[in-house]
Amino acid sequence: MINLIGNLNAELILAQVKDRPDFGQEHLVDHLMFRPGGIANMVYPLSRLGVKPRVIATLGKDQYGKQIYDDMKPLIEDGIMFTDRSTALSVGIVNQTGSRYFVTYSGDLYDFTKETVKRVKHFEQAKLSFYYGYFLLPNFTSEDALDCLKKSKELGQITMFDANSDINGWQPETRREIIDLLPNIDYFMPNNEELLHLTGESEIDKAAEILLTHGARNIVVKQGENGAALYSLNSKIHHTGFPTKAFDTTGAGDSFNAGFAYSLLQGADHREALAFGNALASIVVSRKEERFPTVDEINVKLKAGSGMEA
């Protein structure tokens, strides 16, 4: 069992956009997708791997919230709390190279607090708790996050934490908040850009070293088309990923998260877990429909050996 804790929202994706319009301009696109986002991007790959995670999140009591809930209900153990605010919505613009940006209406995300987590029954049954989207949860404070992480550790759970990017520009107090959480996080899961902004460094290796001196146990750095690397006190492991032609990179990091967590719980070592997460993500970004692969499809990718380890 896995607890997924964090933001759950509607997601409108416009893909294969040639150019980003300026204010006052309008562009036409041919590819539109509406789907659940946030931690839903971990629910769907985990479901294809045979895992039914417990989702601890909020939704609004509106059409979007109902649609997301009805779509996900068969796939999850239910820890969702409905609120009177409208469901959060992210609009994602993805260009032809896979680069993207988002504009998000926060809505019910303001209602996610420590109490959202505390109210959930059977939280302790999970072997792993994944905390997601910290910077998109305005009223889930650093004290709340610390209390929840400590609870997970007391229960003997593996803790993973993906804060996403700081929407307020990585202020000094924000950096301190994350650094103070690190001793209670088994796997901190930033991407390259987030890691560099958090530390103020310009090199990934130096940035990881700084976090390790502040009590980080394992830092898993997602590096897009260059795969992923794991840093711990005595080692660095890098898996360069699997070359693929991306159609939609939205959810790539989340799919990696799902594959990495799943693989660890299956008894994989760090090198194997990096490879599994990269293989899963490479398949997801290459597909327009039926994006999420089975274990067999991932194993075919792994056996092909196109991902190199360094």
Task: Report the pLDDT averaged over residues 53-57.
Answer: 97
Query: What is the share, in percent, of the chain residues with pLDDT greater than 70?
Result: 96
Q: How would you class 200 by CB atoms within 10 Å of its CB: exposed for 0-12, middle for 13-18, buried for 19 or more?
A: exposed
Residue 33 pLDDT: 81
Domain count along the chain: 1
Q: What is the CATH number of the domain that holds 65?
A: 3.40.1190.20
53 domain-assigned = yes
Residue 309 lies in a domain: no
In a domain, 310, yes or no: no
Residue 131 lies in a domain: yes
Quick one: pLDDT band at residue 23, thresholds 50, 70, 90? confident
Report yes or no: 258 and 45 within 8 Å, Cβ to Cβ: yes
Segment 154-198, tens digit of pLDDT = 999 999 999 988 888 899 999 999 999 999 999 999 999 999 999
CA gap 300, 292 in Å, rounded: 14
Range of the domain at 111: 2-304
Q: Which residue has the higher pLDDT, 97 or 14?
A: 14
Flag whether 252 is in a domain: yes
pLDDT (tens digit per residue) in 267-299: 999 999 999 999 999 888 887 677 888 898 898
What does the alpha-carbon distance between residue 284 and residue 167 come to, in Å, rounded to a whole number?
26
Confidence band, pLDDT 50/70/90 cuts, at residue 96: confident
Q: Is residue 271 part of a domain?
A: yes
pLDDT of 19 reads 79
Q: Are the C-beta atoms of residues 42 and 257 closer than 8 Å to each other?
A: yes
| pLDDT at res. 129 | 98
Contact assessment for residue 211 and residue 236, using Cβ atoms and an 8 Å cutoff: no
Q: Is 41 part of any domain?
A: yes
- Any idea which of 112-126, 226-240, 244-258 has the lowest mean pLDDT? 244-258
pLDDT category of residue 310 using cuts at 50, 70 and 90: low
Over residues 67-93, the pLDDT tens digits come to 999 999 999 998 999 999 999 999 888
**In this structure, is residue 27 part of a structural domain?**
yes
For residue 248, the model assigns a pLDDT of 67
